[in-house]
Chain A
Amino acid sequence: MNAPIPLAELTAGSMNWERGTSRIPFAVYNDPALHKLELQRFFYEKHWCYVGLEAEIPNPGDYKRTEIGERSVILVRALDGVIHVVENACAHRGVAFCRARHGNVQAFVCPYHQWNYALDGRLRGVPMRHGVKREGVVQGGMPADFNFADHGLTRLKVAVRGGVVFASFDHDVESFEDFVGPDVLRYFDRLFDGRKLTILGYNRQRIPGNWKLMQENIKDPYHPGLLHTWFVTFGLWRADNRAQMVMDRHHRHAAMISTRGNAGAVSEVSRVSSFKQTMNLHDPRFLDIVPEAWWNGPTAVMTTLFPSVILQQQVNSVSTRQIVPDGHGHFDFVWTHFGFEDDTPEMTQRRLRQANLFGPAGFVSADDGEVIEFSQQTFDAKPAHRTLVELGGDEVANTDHMVTETLIRGMYRYWREVMAR
């Protein structure tokens, strides 16, 4: 199944990389065969993918249905409190038996022939296993050597850190900590420092673009102060803010770290056309920002964990954003906003209010989905062309400023290494 396919063969004629990874062929975004290989190489082996937060399944028997890549999986807390992730695919004839999106159960039962599974995925019951007796004769039944242990649900490897759950189909995957690497793990731990999380709710959007474009969007510190007028006008994200771009050693994950600077002040960066010197809020509560001790300085840290999730801290708004691809041209983007158990009611209110900036309708993020859609339109129309990511040159290295596209170049350096294996 995993015989390496040479990159050249996969992309014959259409994929032409220039200058390292600073010019990305449009073909990486619109090839169904390439997409299938990406699913295998990034989502189903050697990587940890986000599945949810422990706080979503607080009690024994609680479960949540979600996806890894294009496979349906169930995050569940077993009756002994242990967290498991199993594939939502019956071992008998494949039925994706779990239909509710969340709930509480004692066991999983497939409706088709009523196979019964424990919450850790072990097969517990098979109707008519020993056949059915008629007139003293046993008819049918499973073969004598049918072994329950061989026919459980596919069990994934699970890692829980700071209340966040990751899973992998690949039981030989390195530890979650090694996977993220120390430099990015620092920022993971800054947000998920062991405090209990509280779930504020979900937003879901379906974006008609290749899933990698969302990773790129959050590895792109160039655009927020330009596309998102709010960011530059209120100083939340400006090119002259103090900033750091940090990658893991493989350049697949990254943290964009920024500290809020001069709101409203005129400077070189505020001469961009999206800057609104005269913009004032009728209701300033949208930006009622109260610094929190755990920030340790930075007002925004956006962490991309390749391939499946983005971790957001933008002032008081914190969320996870899960990437669920569906074919090469679409992905679902699932936002889970949360808070911390020691939040005051005022802080909870503030997080909810600032959530107006983010999500599918957000003042500074509705437009990200729009530009991704318009990028994909061009890629599909013109597969032999390429993008240009040369802000800051063509090298791949951490920086202490945000005038760079180095994180995107880094991600594609990693992508090429893995895809060409």
Chain B
Amino acid sequence: MTAAIGFEDWQALTQLYADYAHVVDAGLWEQWPEFFTDDCIYRVQPRENFERGFPLATLSFESKGMLKDRAYGIRETLFHDPYYQRHVVGLPRLLRADEGRFEVEANYAVFRTKLSQITTVYNVGRSLDVVVRTAEGLRFARREFIYDSEMIPNSMIYPL
């Protein structure tokens, strides 16, 4: 690991990861797209496809607009059993740091709790991210969740 950044950048980066987890765990779907740049890539992909070079992802978005469409879908069009999700995210592992651009990997586990039911491990894996500095602060230009939990317990409604 050769990448090195200053304390302020490190602090902003870890805050970004913590804030992101807060928003998707609190169900603040309107705020979720705001973590991304306009032409962002957001993907949730089974590890098998990633490792074998298959392009298919379970969710595959190519713009902030698509994230907004997903947020609308969760609220208005997708029928689903309500559930809580809870992210536990490991410390970001910095792969590369350039001026205003960071390549980062982070392990994560997401627990799912359906109303009146036992909490279960829902999805685990790592995210492969590109974070860029913008006028509004750090934003994700790319977020790819590569998940080990290839057998999805029925459905995936909320974004990781």
13 A–B contacts, CB within 8 A, in A order: A200-B54, A202-B46, A202-B150, A203-B58, A205-B151, A205-B152, A205-B154, A205-B155, A283-B63, A360-B156, A361-B152, A367-B78, A369-B154
* B63 nearest CB neighbor, chain A only: A283
Say whether A283 contacts B156, CB under 8 Å.
no
Say whether A200 contacts B69, CB under 8 Å.
no
Q: Mark A270-314, 1 if CB is under 8 A from B, else 0.
A: 000010100101110110000000000000000000000000000
Say whether B79 contacts A370, CB under 8 Å.
yes
| A366 close to chain B: CB less than 8 A | yes
Could you say which residues of chain A place their CB within 8 Å of the CB of B59?
A: 356, 361
Could you say which residues of chain B place their CB within 8 Å of the CB of A202?
A: 46, 48-49, 54, 56, 150
Say whether A355 contacts B56, CB under 8 Å.
yes
| A206 close to chain B: CB less than 8 A | yes
Say whether A373 contacts B56, CB under 8 Å.
no
Q: Contact partner of A370 among B72, B73, B154, CB < 8 A?
A: B154
Q: Could you say which interface size class chain A belongs to?
A: 35 or more
Could you say which residues of chain B place their CB within 8 Å of the CB of A205?
A: 151-155
A-B residue pair count with CB separations less than 8 angstroms: 124
Q: Contact partner of A206 among B62, B69, B78, B151, CB < 8 A?
A: B151
Q: Mark B50-91, 1 if CB is under 8 A from A, else 0.
A: 001011111111111110110011001111110000000000
Could you say which residues of chain A place their CB within 8 Å of the CB of B73?
A: 230, 363
Could you say which residues of chain B place their CB within 8 Å of the CB of A359?
A: 58
- Give min CB distance, A214 to chain B, whole Å: 12
| B44 close to chain A: CB less than 8 A | yes
Contact surface of B with A, Cβ cutoff 8 Å: 44, 46, 48-49, 52, 54-66, 68-69, 72-73, 76-81, 150-157
- A208 to B155: give the CA distance in the assembly, Å: 11
- A282 to B156: give the CA distance in the assembly, Å: 21
* B66 nearest CB neighbor, chain A only: A283
- Give min CB distance, B12 to chain A, whole Å: 28
* B48 nearest CB neighbor, chain A only: A202
Q: List 19 extra interface pairs beyond A203-B152, A205-B152, CB under 8 A.
A: A201-B54, A201-B57, A204-B150, A205-B154, A206-B153, A228-B77, A230-B77, A233-B77, A281-B69, A282-B69, A353-B60, A355-B60, A359-B58, A360-B154, A361-B59, A361-B152, A366-B78, A366-B156, A371-B79
- Beyond A208-B154, A366-B156, whether A229 also contacts B54 by CB under 8 A is no
Say whether B54 contacts A363, CB under 8 Å.
no
Say whether A203 contacts B77, CB under 8 Å.
no
| A180 close to chain B: CB less than 8 A | no
- A367 to B80: give the CA distance in the assembly, Å: 6
| A390 close to chain B: CB less than 8 A | no
- Give min CB distance, B97 to chain A, whole Å: 31
Say whether B55 contacts A200, CB under 8 Å.
yes
Could you say which residues of chain A place their CB within 8 Å of the CB of B72?
A: 279
- Beyond A282-B68, A286-B66, whether A204 also contacts B152 by CB under 8 A is yes
Q: Which residue of B52, B79, B157 has the most chain A CB atoms within 10 A of its CB atom?
A: B79
- A207 to B155: give the CA distance in the assembly, Å: 8
| A47 close to chain B: CB less than 8 A | no
- Beyond A199-B54, A202-B48, A203-B58, whether A370 also contacts B81 by CB under 8 A is yes
Q: Mark A84-124, 1 if CB is under 8 A from B, else 0.
A: 00000000000000000110000000000000000000000
- Beyond A361-B44, A366-B157, whether A332 also contacts B151 by CB under 8 A is yes
- A208 to B120: give the CA distance in the assembly, Å: 15
Could you say which residues of chain B place their CB within 8 Å of the CB of A101?
A: 48
Could you say which residues of chain A place their CB within 8 Å of the CB of B80?
A: 366-367, 370
